């Protein structure tokens, strides 16, 4: 299942996080980000996950968002190819850092693809094409997943959205939380049960389902009200990460 996990990899934030990429021109406060990240780590540990904590990389301000340069599942890690020049080096560093953690490691050879554009649903993977992920990268991933008995489907992320998962989240194997903009594409139609993100709270769409609990970003009361009807919810403050277009799923690799 894509919501049951035993382990997670995180990377500590460095002081350079204040210069991470932001579509809104905002800068996270390093000390606040550090506190929020520590709380995030605590929540994962309390949910039963063994944490592999990697050291910060000040030469890569966005490296805190470790989900983008890799895809992990079972005992497999696929090193991805970030879609922006300032993050190219993250993949090589991560490949070295995880060499003793996974028994099977693969690497995307061409194109560009980031983990924020990959939604896993069981043995099926949806890749949303965006400014950070192109068709070549998505097809390259499919060539790796196919022989492993896994399937891949390509969608088009609407313009103006950084990552596919910026505006959707897997709640369970049948249910997806998505914004109206993403629902309007018709991609999910007839395939999944959809929960629509309440109007005005689109920035809170990146929730994270882990071991029968649902992590929700702080400050999105309507989303919390909607999801708490069926889920055990945990609210986490990631306001500093939101300044640089990141959310709950971005800060860990889970398997």
Q: What is the mean pLDDT of residues 205-232?
A: 97
Which of 25, 41, 45, 24 lies closest to 33, judged by CA? 41
Q: How many other C-beta atoms are found inside a 10 Å radius of the C-beta of residue 103? A: 9
200 backbone φψ class: left, alpha, beta (φ>0; ψ -120 to 50): left
| Phi–psi pair at 104, nearest 5 degrees | -125, 125
**What pLDDT is attached to residue 184?**
95
Q: What structural domains and CATH numbers belong to the chain?
A: 7-254 (3.75.10.10)
Residues 122-173: tens digit of each pLDDT: 999 999 999 999 999 999 999 999 999 999 999 999 999 999 999 999 999 9
Residues 200-210: tens digit of each pLDDT: 999 999 999 99
Lowest mean pLDDT among 36-40, 79-83, 125-129, 188-192: 188-192
**What pLDDT is attached to residue 76?**
98
């Amino acid at each position: 299942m894509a919501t049951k996990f035993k382990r997670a990899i995180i990377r500590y934030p460095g002081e350079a996080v204040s210069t991470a990429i932001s579509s809104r021109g905002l800068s996270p406060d390093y000390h606040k980000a550090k506190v929020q990240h520590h709380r995030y780590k605590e929540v994962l540990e309390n949910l039963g996950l063994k944490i592999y904590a990697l050291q910060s990389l000040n030469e890569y301000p966005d490296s805190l968002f470790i989900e983008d340069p890799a895809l992990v599942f079972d005992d497999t890690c696929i090193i991805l190819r970030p879609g922006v020049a300032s993050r190219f080096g993250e993949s090589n560093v991560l490949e070295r850092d995880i060499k003793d953690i996974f028994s099977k490691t693969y690497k995307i050879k061409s194109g560009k693809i980031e983990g924020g554009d990959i939604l896993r649903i069981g043995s099926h993977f949806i890749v949303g094409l965006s400014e950070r992920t192109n068709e070549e990268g998505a097809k390259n991933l499919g060539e790796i997943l196919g022989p492993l008995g896994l399937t891949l489907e390509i969608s088009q992320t609407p313009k103006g959205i950084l990552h596919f998962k910026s505006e959707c989240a897997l709640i369970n194997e049948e249910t997806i939380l998505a914004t109206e903009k993403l629902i309007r594409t018709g991609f999910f139609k007839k395939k999944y049960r959809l929960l629509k993100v309440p109007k005005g709270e689109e920035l809170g769409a990146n929730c994270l389902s882990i071991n029968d609990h649902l992590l929700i970003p702080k400050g999105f009361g309507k989303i919390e009200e909607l999801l708490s009807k069926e889920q055990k919810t945990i609210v986490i403050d990631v306001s500093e990460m939101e300044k640089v277009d990141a959310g709950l799923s971005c800060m860990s690799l889970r398997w």
